[in-house]
Amino acid sequence: MDWIYALLAAFLFATGGFFMKLSLGSLKSPATAAFLVLFIAGALLQARAMRRADMGAVYIAVLGLEAAFALALSAGILHEHLSWQRIAAAGLIVAGVSLLRLS
């Protein structure tokens, strides 16, 4: 269950990053409010995930999965460039997180 919280936290952080981009440097109030709420919710879920799991493993997992989710959001919604190198890098991150989960 702790890893589900970590996965959800990573998704909330990545979604918050998406709204941060839409906020245009905190100039657009609705997007700014959205990214702040999402970041706070992500932090609360990450803290919940760290209750019984190792801090190092959870922290790295959240950061890594957040990066992979952010890449998917940027390519899928914002139509940013997605090269094979970026896909490979995200794959390595997910593989690393999987190894953390197994350890």
**Predicted local confidence at residue 82, as pLDDT:** 93
Domain ranges within the chain, ordered by starting residue: 2-102
Angle at 23 between CA 22 and CA 27, to 5 degrees: 145
How do residues 21-72 score in pLDDT, each as one tens digit? 999 998 899 999 999 999 999 999 999 999 988 888 899 999 999 999 999 9
Contacts of 65 (CB under 8 A, 6+ apart): 6, 7, 10, 11, 14, 93, 94, 97
Q: How confident is the model at residue 81 (pLDDT cuts 50, 70, 90)?
A: very high
Query: Would you tell me how many other CB atoms lie within 10 Å of the CB of residue 73?
Result: 17
Axis-axis angle for helices 84-102, 55-76 (nearest 10)? 150
List the structure tokens of 42: 């992500």
Q: Residue 84: is its pLDDT beyond 70? A: yes
Residue 103 reports pLDDT greater than 80: no
Percent of the chain with pLDDT over 70: 99
Please state, in angstroms and rounded to a whole number, the distance separating the CA atoms of residues 60 and 65: 8
**What is the predicted pLDDT for the residue at 1?**
66
Say if residue 101's pLDDT is above 90: no
Give the global pTM. Answer: 0.89
